[in-house]
């Protein structure tokens, strides 16, 4: 997931959750929940970023847009619950903090999330570091699986 979602998607999400835009984004989220019921992970992303171009990777591919539901559904529940409890509780608060997201590849073939508050230029942020399975390890495990199946 890291390579697909770490360019335009990450940049655009960070603009929407910047100090200048967080309150408007939070209002959109509250309106979204009123119209669609309780939030579950992944539902709001396409509402915020409705154009496939907003999801382009470093090569210009927008395949992440079409595969979002599949990819979001593959993230372990404990990771999505942690992101949801922090980020979306923030959206629901009276004074939401700006958020900064960074998406990358993990060192192994697992998902992980690191969340921490930090101050930058006198403004408190919520930082979300989403780590996705390392594609190099994921590819080799598929090769290993195929070799075992052929043996």
- Convert the pLDDT of each residue in 49-68 to its tens digit: 777 787 777 777 777 778 77
**What pLDDT score was predicted for residue 78?**
93
Per DSSP, which regions of 3-150 are E strands?
Answer: 99-105, 112-120, 123-132
Torsion angle of the four alpha carbons 6, 12, 17, 20, in this order, in degrees rounded to the nearest 10: 140
- Per-domain residue ranges of the chain: 2-150
pLDDT at site 137: 85
Tell me if residue 129 falls in helix, strand or coil: strand
pTM across the whole model: 0.78
CA distances for 75 relative to 17, 20, 26, 67, angstroms? 22, 30, 23, 13
């Amino acid at each position: 997931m890291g390579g697909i979602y770490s360019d335009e998607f990450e940049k655009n999400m960070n603009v929407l959750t910047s100090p200048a835009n967080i309150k408007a984004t939070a209002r959109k989220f509250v309106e979204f929940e009123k119209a669609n019921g309780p939030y579950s992970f992944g539902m709001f992303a396409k509402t915020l970023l409705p154009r496939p171009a907003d999801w382009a990777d470093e090569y210009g591919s927008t395949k992440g847009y079409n595969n979002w539901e599949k990819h979001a559904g593959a993230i372990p529940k404990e990771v999505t619950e942690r992101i949801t409890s922090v980020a979306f509780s923030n959206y629901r608060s009276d004074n939401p903090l700006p958020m900064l997201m960074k998406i990358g590849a993990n060192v192994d073939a697992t998902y992980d999330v690191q969340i921490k508050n930090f101050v930058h230029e006198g403004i408190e942020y919520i930082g979300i570091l989403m780590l996705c399975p390392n594609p190099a390890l994921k590819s080799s495990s598929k090769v290993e699986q195929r070799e075992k199946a052929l043996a």
